[in-house]
């Protein structure tokens, strides 16, 4: 696996997130209620409620084929969390859970697991990609 510098991983992650949000915003939400404002509030509420109920029923049918697998997977995850405890946090880079007692890098704004945490060698190799708490480039002393 190629290990990308952290700042590049963060840029890619933020870019993907913005692209996803932009796609959602580009898709206009349909108006499920066909009644216009001249109808009474009660009529519009009933129509909107019926439209929402129909959408929820359709969504339930989509979920149904995977429901047993979902519940089994969820129970399995709960068993693991019961054994090891819930994760303290998650690695910002690889999304792995970080459990109590594991070494990890606790940054001012992100947590990184041991595998993803920068080393002093990383800092020495590319100091420009590291910033101190004031946003200034890190300086290293020999
Ligand atoms: Zn990680």
List, for residues 65-96, the tens digit of each pLDDT value.
999 999 999 999 999 999 989 999 999 999 99
Ranges 10-14, 23-27, 98-102, 121-125, most confident: 98-102
Distance between CA 138 and CA 42 in Å, rounded?
63
CA distances from 29 to 24, 32, 33, 58, 102 (A): 9, 9, 12, 17, 44
Region 18-24: mean pLDDT is 59
Which pTM does this prediction carry?
A: 0.52
Least confident of 2-11, 80-89, 92-101: 2-11
Ligand 1 centroid–CA 20 distance in Å is 23
Ligand 1 centroid–CA 39 distance in Å is 55
CB 91 within 8 A of CB 99: no
> If pLDDT is split at 50, 70 and 90, which confidence band does 1 have?
very low
Return the higher-pLDDT residue of 132 and 101: 101
Ligand 1 centroid–CA 116 distance in Å is 4
Average pLDDT value for the chain: 82
The answer on pLDDT for 12 being more than 50 is yes
Region 93-104: mean pLDDT is 95
Ligand 1 centroid–CA 53 distance in Å is 41
């Amino acid at each position: 696996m190629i290990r990308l510098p952290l700042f590049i991983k963060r840029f890619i992650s933020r870019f993907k997130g913005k692209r996803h949000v932009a796609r959602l915003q580009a898709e206009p939400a349909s108006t499920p209620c066909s009644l216009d404002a001249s109808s009474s509030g009660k009529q519009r509420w009933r129509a909107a409620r019926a439209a929402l109920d129909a959408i929820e029923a359709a969504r339930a049918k989509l979920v149904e084929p995977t429901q047993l697998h979902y519940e089994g997977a969820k129970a399995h995850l709960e068993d693991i969390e019961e054994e090891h405890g819930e994760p303290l946090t998650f690695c910002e880079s690889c999304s792995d859970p970080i459990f109590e007692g594991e070494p990890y890098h606790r940054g001012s704004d992100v947590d990184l697991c041991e595998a993803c945490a920068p080393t002093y060698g990383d800092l020495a190799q590319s100091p420009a990609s590291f910033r101190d708490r004031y946003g200034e480039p890190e300086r290293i002393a020999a």
